[in-house]
Amino acid sequence: MRVFDTVIAFKNFINSDCLNKKLGFVPTMGALHNGHLSLINRAKTENDLVAVSIFINPTQFNNADDLKNYPKTLDADLQMLKAVHCDIVLVPSVAEMYPKGAVSETFSFDGLENLMEGAFRPGHFNGVGTIVKRLLEIVNPANAYFGEKDYQQLLIIKKLVKLLNLNINIVSCPIYREPNGLAMSSRNELLSLPQRQEATIIYKILCDVKSNFKKEPHQQVYEAVDRAFKAHPFFKLEYFVIAEADTLMPVNKIIATKSYRAFIAVFAGNVRLIDNIAL
CA distances from 252 to 46, 66, 106, 260 (A): 39, 34, 30, 11
Measure the CA angle with vertex 60, ends 110 and 26; round to 5°.
Answer: 85
Residues serving a catalytic function are 36
Q: Rounded to an integer, what distance in angstroms lies between the CA atom of residue 159 and that of residue 243? A: 18
Shortest gap between Cβ of 5 and ligand PAF (angstroms)?
17
Q: How many other CB atoms sit within 10 Å of the CB of residue 221?
A: 22
- Evaluate whether 174 touches 148 at the Cβ level (below 8 Å): yes
Shortest gap between Cβ of 272 and ligand PAF (angstroms)?
14
Shortest gap between Cβ of 144 and ligand PAF (angstroms)?
9
- Residue among 166 and 224 whose Cβ is closer to ligand PAF: 166
Q: Note the residues at the interface with ligand PAF (CB under 6 A).
A: 27-29, 57, 60, 128, 131-132, 150, 153
Which of these, 38, 24, 6, lies nearest to 177 by C-alpha position?
Answer: 38
Shortest gap between Cβ of 185 and ligand PAF (angstroms)?
9
- Residue among 131 and 205 whose Cβ is closer to ligand PAF: 131
- Residue among 87 and 150 whose Cβ is closer to ligand PAF: 150
Contacts of 130 (CB under 8 A, 6+ apart): 57, 59, 104, 105, 107
Q: Rounded to an integer, what distance in angstroms lies between the CA atom of residue 136 and that of residue 160? A: 10
- Residue among 56 and 182 whose Cβ is closer to ligand PAF: 56
